[in-house]
Chain A
């Protein structure tokens, strides 16, 4: 054969092929015609924002749930709608983001759970279990002592055990869900070495993530998902991080995108240090990891500071710490010059802080309470005299807010749980912006909200800004941050990667800070 002859294309049966997958939970469509094709022996990255539908797709693959429509093939075999046991038997191993490890048991106990080796029929053969674990451990390079308790392990070590768990059951196709979410940089590099070695030994790996800087290094092919659909499937070598970021976060142009807001005329400052001031804030999470690492910034009256960044970089913890729902490890928080670092939630309210929480179902509303009662949560003392709630005033307040915020159905006596997401959020916004405040924390204010309500809420935020309030906006929707903010900060791994005026910002510019490929000032 001379070189240059046409080579026959190798027809490789895909390790995984999922086509036109639909999956809904009630009214939420997690997967809409999603697809995925993974070739054997490759490392395939499945990327997308939170809520894009990646985990759902993988759960369907792993047999934890059945698709409403669509078709799943593994190694050429139709396996649509199979069970977890079928999937495990066929060699699929899912390494979950939240570890499925029993903390009070040892490594080998966790590994053999469900397939325990026995002597004499009923006795658990601990020795053989430990030997098997050690053998696998050495083979794969995932070194871990079998006797150690899970609760004593570091996060990186626990993840090693999770991977060993699926390998122990003979997995040849590994799916790792956000594996680096809780790892430190050296642990991440170790993980990549492990994954490369597994790939070289013939395993197929699917990596679910939104951390592109690392993925770009490692993967062969990338599938991008957005809003339940698959929007692209590209070879890693054919693309750039910026393009991936754009595919991940872009969406139909919202009504408020592109409207560059005019700087507000700020009222003369009446206090020495008006607005929000945060100095050197550090917050520790589980296992002692610093989820906020020495962050300093300020929000002046009449400005909106937007924090962009992919979720999981510490935004949630930052807001919780500012709101008084999470203890602070070090640093100070001041509102209008008053130190509130150790103050209670209600004291912070009194100091002028309002908070639109990111999870309205858990925190923002009491779903069994009526709309009227939810509208006074946090300010009930202003609606009571002598310890008794003034129902007339509560109703009056409710009718007023329902009208000004166009909350539907306009019935103050409805239980909050019967409202749509958008209307529920309007209740929260009405309440938080209806009380006197100088600083507002707005966390994912339009998540799960319909287009019209989004527009409305954005307008409310802008109004507050022109009235001289300071707003800290955290949002995973880049367009929202770009449209509303005066200044924009990007949060990456618990620190501010950069702070810049909105006029200098754009998706491309911010994107690189968000995925960590660029590091700038942290003013």
Chain B
């Protein structure tokens, strides 16, 4: 096993997680539960393929993908913020809705139940090992960008206040509602980019292609204790485990299923506080008057 090829594959696998987890951090720090990352990713993936197919340009696909994620995130925001629906239930609903909607339009536009036609992507030079894909570079810098936003900008300060003590924020005239809407929209766009990368990398959309990556992303958020850089590190860790599993395939050393379990087991351990407590933002999941 070549360390260089291990690293490059690990990074490629990590990109969707990096996008989604970074988005998840923003929304959760603002106090909105983000079990919806899976649905945002899926909708981004489909919208990107749709856009690229009809325009021929993957950049149009990127924009369409972002739009797809934005639409679903706005539904999430309205349901949880305006209607104060239970955020976990809405999360489940959004994920199911994304599956349903993408399937429906897959059938409508592409007359298929399983996959779209092949579309153009980025890069493609085998020797570049994926590094000629601009989305990959974007994925590498998205976590530091989000960290900068959260810790160094006024908006980030308001996000942190909204998620910990929304009353305090309201008392100084900050509109917690507006902050949360924007935070959720950002999470939708970023998570969707994760799906865009996935779809364009595979040059097509397949039914339920995100296959639980959104849940790994939320695991990374929790394991990373809601900090963008730590969440990114968790993403790399999980991606490393996955790369290991792929490269070890057939060697029967450790069954692949156990490697699959690693991200989830680590998250449970983090929640149980065995290795330091993972304390969520204090106002996460509660939308008061």
Contacts and interface: CB of A to CB of B under 8 A. Distances in A.
Nearest to A117: B154
A401 interface: no
Mostly helix, strand, loop or mixed at chain B's interface?
helix
A105 B168 CA distance: 12
For chain A, the bracket of interface size reads 20 to 34
B169 A114 contact: yes
Interface string A283-325: 0000000000000000000000000000000000000000000
Nearest to B158: A113
Interface stretch (B47-55, B102-110, B171-179, B259-267): B171-179
Interface in B136-187: 152-154, 156-158, 160-161, 164-165, 167-174
Given A88-B173, A102-B160, A105-B157, A123 B152 contact: yes
Given A88-B173, A114-B173, A102 B153 contact: no
A104 interface: yes
Contacts of B170: 84
B157 A116 contact: yes
B146 to A, nearest CB: 14
B218 to A, nearest CB: 21
A133 to B, nearest CB: 14
A202 interface: no
A463 interface: no
Interface string A113-150: 11110100011101000000000000000000000000
Given A113-B174, A118-B154, A105 B160 contact: yes
A105 B171 contact: no
Residue with the highest number of chain A CB atoms closer than 10 Å, among B154, B158, B161, B164:
B154
B161 A84 contact: no
Interface residues of B, number: 19
Interface in A77-132: 84-85, 88, 94, 96, 99-105, 109-110, 112-116, 118, 122-124, 126
A103 B172 contact: no
A124 B168 contact: no
A101 B161 CA distance: 9
Contacts of B165: 100-103
Contacts of A99: 168
Interface string A319-351: 000000000000000000000000000000000
B152 A104 contact: no
B157 A113 contact: yes
A205 B154 CA distance: 31
Contact of B172 (A104, A113, A118, A122): A113
Contacts of B157: 105, 109, 112-113, 116, 124
Interface in A359-402: none
Nearest to B149: A122
Contacts of B173: 84-85, 88, 114
Interface in B85-125: none
Given A84-B173, A109-B157, 18 more contacts: A85-B173, A99-B168, A100-B167, A100-B168, A102-B160, A102-B168, A104-B282, A105-B160, A113-B161, A113-B174, A114-B158, A114-B172, A114-B173, A114-B174, A116-B154, A123-B152, A124-B153, A124-B156
21 contacts: A85-B173, A88-B173, A96-B171, A100-B167, A100-B171, A100-B172, A102-B160, A102-B165, A103-B164, A103-B282, A105-B157, A113-B174, A114-B169, A114-B172, A114-B173, A116-B154, A116-B157, A122-B153, A124-B152, A124-B154, A124-B157
